[in-house]
Chains A and B, each alone.
Chain A
Amino acid sequence: MAISKRKKAQYRRIAVYVLSVIALLVMVLVVDWGRLQNAMFQWDIVVEQFPDILTGAAKNTIIFTILGFAGGLSFGLLFALMRLSTVRPYRWFAATYIEIFRGIPLLVTLLILGFGIPIATGWRWPNPYLQGAVPLALVASAYMAETIRAGIEAVPKGQMEAARSLGMSYSRAMITIIIPQALRIIVPPLTNEFVLLIKDTSLISVLGVTAGTRDLARFGRDGVNSTANATPLIVAGLVYLAMTVPLTQLVAWMERREKAVSR
């Protein structure tokens, strides 16, 4: 006797629910919650993290992110325009730059620029914030260049033609007509880029920054060392979430609104 397709789908859905509940029950029963809380979430250690985790570590994470984003956006725009240029060497240079910095892991770039260059040349980073933020910005600019280029290319060709037919120069048309429209298109992906940067700043801690410039991840690790407990890392993770979740929700809202407008 054959079961109908819809009946089958219904059974399958019920089976998934039942299995999920069983899995949840097994987890609750098997895990030693007391031990877990002892190792990862001791309330007195949580309280100890404040306010330094906000006034010091989170502040530094935000400084690194904003420096990295501002630098990445400026150079990203420059490389995007070079990629779209009619001058071939510009295109080659930008394409090579983008390939290199997207192809090397940020961790390696950080080590090369943060340690390698000073050792090789004797030159010293004038500021510990720059030591972390400059490599971050260079890598971010490679990713943002591609995002911005896609945004500019998404503006219909007729816009540039209309602007040029009115006597505007190429750069005038870019600044007044094309880039404002491209920016509207790329605000959601650029916000995503910002979220990625917040998380990527955690890698800067490998540069052995001073207590005054340590970021959230480093603060959490140092906390683990001093308390012999993982709680500080959990708190750091929660502070990251407090920064990233509102932004990803903002992106989701912008994308929903964009969909509603274009319908």
Chain B
Amino acid sequence: MNADIVVNITNLNKSFGDNHVLRGIDLQVQRGEVVCIIGPSGSGKSTLLRCVNMLEMPTAGTVVVLGRELTDIDCDLDETRAHIGMVFQQFNLFPHMTALENVCVAQRKVLKRSAGEAATIAHDLLARVGLVEKDNAYPAQLSGGQQQRVAIARALAMNPDVMLFDEATSALDPELIGEVLQVMQSLAQEGMTMLVVTHEMGFAKGVADRVVFMDGGVIVEQGPPSQVISAPVEERTRAFLSSVLNH
């Protein structure tokens, strides 16, 4: 078992009733690697991401994260999920808690850190994502971009080994996308292992080590962005890229 493989997905299948969403996905992510998953809506990319921390239970296949086989019935999912950060399209901040409490709550309840320690870490992380003096703001008082950065800080507070981004900028107003992408880019530069489902081709091109193009529940093409985005081999990839880039 190679210790540098953080995520190892083998022959992953997922059906919702008759709808066969994932049709045999094989994907490995190395430590420190930034992998962007692109593809048309309905291609199964979000489902794939949600299978990595078992928010969706795969129908068949294996998912191994950090050497733990999540698809094994004996695996402690809660323990493993604490090592996998996730950022959602709709932010999903806890609306009844302040920004600081959002970042503290799992540190306290899952990692059992003391209140003081959790608050110090949370305060530093909020500063790191560019939110100073917002500790006591409630999510409703923050802009979408600010909320998403709190959500990133909340995930980082668990010291995750890998971060999953599920269309993290898709719900944002155009002028707020940049501030979130900037935080994601600096995370990538610090060596975080990242699996990013995105429609931001500029981000994929500039930050990803590898781009995975999905369509119809399978991986159609993958490789460095210089290849997949700039010089795609497959016809489906080309069709998708031209539809995305030409407007």
- A residues within 8 Å of B by Cβ? 156, 158-159, 161-169, 172, 176-177, 180-181, 184
Contacts and interface: CB of A to CB of B under 8 A. Distances in A.
- Taking residues whose C-beta sits less than 8 angstroms from the other chain, chain B's interface range is 20 to 34
Contacts of B95: 181
B82 A180 contact: no
A172 B55 contact: no
B78 A169 contact: yes
B83 to A, nearest CB: 8
Contacts of A169: 78
Contacts of A163: 94, 106
A167 B108 CA distance: 11
Contacts of B151: 162
A177 B106 CA distance: 10
29 contacts: A156-B90, A158-B92, A161-B55, A161-B88, A162-B92, A162-B151, A163-B94, A164-B55, A165-B81, A165-B84, A165-B85, A165-B155, A166-B82, A166-B105, A166-B106, A166-B158, A167-B78, A167-B81, A167-B83, A168-B78, A168-B109, A168-B110, A172-B109, A172-B110, A176-B109, A177-B105, A181-B94, A181-B95, A184-B96
Contacts of B96: 180-181, 184
B90 to A, nearest CB: 5
B155 A166 contact: yes
Contacts of A177: 94, 105
Interface of B: 53, 55, 78-79, 81-86, 88, 90, 92-96, 105-106, 109-110, 151, 154-155, 158
A166 B92 contact: no
A165 to B, nearest CB: 4
Contacts of A184: 96
Nearest to B111: A167
B86 A165 contact: yes
Contacts of A167: 78-79, 81-83, 106, 110, 158
Nearest to A162: B92
A49 to B, nearest CB: 46
Nearest to B107: A166
A166 B78 CA distance: 8
